[in-house]
Structure 1
């Protein structure tokens, strides 16, 4: 790790990054890494007053919330409150009643049809429901304009943010969408608990994390607020995949309320936690300790949940939207599937030197990337809390760390 330490310290010193947290652990005891670099905020103009980045620095984990929410849904399954093969008429009628958008008529009104099959819970967990985030789909841009609503999720409730039609028949393809966001409401209706109370009772308490280290409700935790990371931006923080110079831009602090504002629980993006707390969740899954899921339920996290047709849709999605592939840094040519908890790689990424076939992973907007490799017996996470998503400097540095951790298994 000496080379990685030097690389990250140099990146902080020369201003390429403001800070980072790196964590990795394996089942043999060869790998047990916890490193932090730089600072968690550039708000103070005086560098001496900037607080250090640490492994217990709270961050909004954005789409890395999806694993936590998926685990909670599977806990509901274990409790007999839901089933992956069930429709959503009872627990999420808002989603069960959605139609497929096929276009717009001459008057500018949407043309919709009934889906050929119902949305099942497993479709939500595997992003194969037909729900899509609006960012990359022109049809949804037009639909949001027809609704009179903002394109992005600028509202504090699920219905305004994500109540729009499907783009394909459930189970027939893959598209990254607000599936897991809706699951927080499903958890509430299935269990009778708020999403926050369920999180605390079934994830935070069993792992001894503490509510000041994992919550949907940051504003109710003053200590957590005091320790949280501000968002750091490279340039204006907007990722432009066609840019000839995507590395350009000075690091800066800019107040953006998304990173500390509490809204109605969005299971796909709304959890605040720390890297070391997230590692406790990953370690519970990797070590199969039974604290979160029974062994037979845990297996669902590593089992392909997509049909061959939908797997092709996933590969096509990754090829079409290279700039927004959620499995960064896996090479786009690697075949993909999705379980009930995250992306699965269907091939070794570099023989036995890096992520192995069946690796489970996902990522979050502020350049937070996690993976659990059941075959290699290792889990890791790197967290920068920096925009834009897919920042090439963060990806390069994080990938170097991840590969170094995997290579330690061979020593």
Structure 2
């Protein structure tokens, strides 16, 4: 069980990040055995207006959208509408005649024939797709064409088709590379369900879970509860390839009143959602309860177990990744939508075998610990998430409170 005196260390840690101007503000919510055990918020959600970081603050969860999209795929899988070894070209025909870069390629036209990635390879980031902020030939081409699935970049169908015109970074299944593959799966959800991704999320996931303030667009009436986004970088907060630190550790990059998340067109299944900490805890608790919610099941317990086991041959590190990632790679496997702790020692971070977790580019993070029966959600708004080791520190603090 959790010792509440020891959990007070979390408060001191959060305040230290604010005092050192690493984060403008943050909140932590911990449930133990389905009951709230801890909540604390400190600092500001908006420095410019002096607005506090509160429990009802809305944030950009970026890649914490990925587990939601992966859940949607598994909900459709349970209906027998496809199997995970199906090629993505069955749903998005533009992926039919694929090519992949040859090993050691230095130009985008150095290619060889390739099969289309499968749905399983998309789910596990072994598809051959990439992200513009990764190193390499394909990421550079993606960056040049802004293939990023940002909120103001039009419709999902169009960008998924544009992406298919580029070669894969490697032959599917041969490596692990963090990628826009979950965005592509968002389009698969649309094709199979006949609904927009936003409508599917709302009717099939958010409404049953009571996640009333999570969406691809900042909900109407939110006003100034939508947090500002900051970065310690002198340039683009997402441009990790050319990142430069500047003198200001909390440089404003996006705020309410003029944010693209207030007029979202692109429903990015890989990084487009905004929401509150209580809403995301409802999602994490559904995973902890193996698919269950107060009125039934989104997925069966067996399917939930299947999602949250390692789907790689070994850990992520064994698959030669060259990309940015939201988690350590040694001692960490990857399930469907999140990382799975295989060996806490090799991951060099306190944890339980079977922990399921993921984070977002603005330094948000969640994990579900089936051994200790815990769900933990951390919200802040600083990009990139690689700026500080806050996730490992928070896990150590929580495990230090278990007695």
Q: TM-score, normalised by structure 1?
A: 0.82
Instruction: Answer yes or no: is 1:249 the counterpart of 2:248.
Output: yes
Alignment correspondent of 1:405 = 398
Q: Could you tell me which residue of structure 2 aligns to residue 89 of structure 1?
A: 89
Higher mean C-alpha deviation, range 3-12 or range 96-105 = 96-105
Structure 1 residues 51 and 246: CA distance shift in structure 2, 3 A: same
Distance 2:399 2:87 in 1: 40
Matched, 1:277 2:282: no
Indicate yes or no: 2:313 matched with 1:302: no
Q: Is the 8 A contact 1:235 1:252 kept in 2?
A: yes
Residue of 354, 357, 362 corresponding to 1:361: 357
Rounded Cα–Cα distance in structure 2 between residues aligned with 1:171 and 1:354: 30
Structure 2 residue runs without a partner (length 5+): 1-6
Cα pair 1:133 1:178 within 8 Å, conserved = yes
Q: 2:210 maps to which residue? A: 208
* Residue-by-residue CA offset, 1:283-337 (whole Å, 9 max, x unaligned): 11102252322111101222222235x85554x32xx55xx3321xx4x5x3232
Equivalent in the alignment of 1:345: 341
What root-mean-square deviation, in Å, do the aligned CA atoms of Structure 1 and Structure 2 show?
A: 3.3
* Equivalent residue, structure 2, for 1:162: 163
Task: Verify the 8 A CA contact 1:23 1:380 in the aligned structure 2.
Answer: yes
Question: Helix, strand or coil for the counterpart of 2:81?
Answer: coil
Distance 1:86 1:22, change over 3 A: same
1:110 match: 109
> Residue 180 and residue 362 in structure 1: after superposition, are their counterparts in 2 closer, same or farther (change >3 A)?
same
Deviation by residue 1:322-357 (Cα, 9 ceiling, x = unmatched): xx3321xx4x5x323211121122102499993112
1:249–1:105 Cα change, 3 Å? closer
Task: Tell whether 2:177 aligns with 1:175.
Answer: yes
Task: Return 344-353 or 186-195, whichever deviates more.
Answer: 344-353
Change in CA separation of 1:271 and 1:139 when aligned onto 2, cut-off 3 Å: same
Structure 2 distance, partners of 1:350, 1:379, is: 22
Contact kept in structure 1, 2:27 and 2:378, CA below 8 Å:
yes
Q: Give the corresponding residue for 1:33.
A: 38
Query: What does 1:63-82 correspond to in 2, within 5 Å?
Result: 63-82=63-82
Q: Structure 1: how far apart are the matches of 2:94 and 2:347?
A: 45
Deviations 1:110-157 (A, max 9, x none): 133222x54211111111111111322331155448xx7247556334
* Residue number in structure 1 paired with 2:234: 236
Write the distance in 1 (CA, Å) between the matches of 2:163 and 2:178.
13
**What corresponds to 1:55 in structure 2?**
55
- 1:19/1:38 contact within 8 Å kept: yes
Asked whether the equivalents of residues 124 and 336 of structure 2 are also in contact (C-alpha less than 8 Å), the reply is yes
Does the alignment pair 1:133 with 2:139?
A: no
More deviation, 271-280/381-390 = 381-390
**Structure 1 position 274, deviation (Å):** 1.3
The C-alpha deviation readout for 1:167-192, integer Å capped at 9, x for no partner, is 22222221111110111111111111
C-alpha displacement of 1:101? 2.2
Who is 2:4 aligned against?
Answer: none
Q: Which runs of 5 or more structure 1 residues have no equivalent in the other structure?
A: 45-49
Superposed displacement of residue 230, structure 1: 1.3
Native 8 Å contact 2:132 2:140 kept in 1: no
Post-superposition offset of 1:73 = 0.9
